[in-house]
């Protein structure tokens, strides 16, 4: 479990599980998915969080079938993405592949720097 990121609003990592299809992915495919996920979370931290009014409207709209977004629970969405990244990273390590330093990658704020496994 990784925690203690320097940024005050940096999310903590939790464990998740891979489904059967994901268990069969090659190192290259997992690395590709992780790059996209890491960049997505970097971008998430640079976006302004939705207001409580916006979240409430999104939640109400989802309840009546009007929308199906994740704005009603942005923290839950981030936690889910982090759990997936950690699961992928653990799988890479189990397979003997290069893996990511997730803490360092998620602290990176320069979107032009691509995540790289080590």
Q: Does the global pTM surpass 0.75?
A: no
**Calpha distance 104→118 (Å, rounded):** 12
Residue 77 pLDDT: 85
Tell me the pLDDT band of 11, cut-offs 50, 70 and 90.
very low
Residue 105 near residue 118 (C-beta atoms within 8 A): no
Taking a C-beta distance cutoff of 8 angstroms, is the pair 109, 6 a contact?
no
Contact 117, 93 (CB under 8 A): no
pLDDT in tens, 71-85: 556 778 889 999 999
Q: Please write the tens of the pLDDT for every residue from 67-118.
A: 555 555 677 888 999 999 999 999 999 999 999 999 999 999 899 999 999 9
């Amino acid at each position: 479990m990784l925690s203690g990121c320097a940024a005050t609003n940096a999310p903590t990592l939790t464990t998740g599980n891979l489904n059967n299809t994901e268990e069969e992915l090659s190192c290259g495919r997992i690395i590709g998915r992780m790059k996209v996920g890491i960049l997505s979370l970097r971008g998430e931290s640079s976006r302004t969080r939705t207001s409580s009014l916006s979240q409430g409207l999104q939640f109400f709209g989802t309840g009546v079938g009007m929308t199906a977004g994740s704005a009603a629970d942005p923290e839950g969405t981030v936690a889910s993405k982090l759990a997936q990244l950690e699961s992928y990273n653990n799988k890479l390590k189990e397979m003997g592949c290069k893996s990511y330093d997730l803490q360092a990658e998620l602290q990176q704020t320069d979107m032009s720097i691509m995540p790289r496994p080590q």
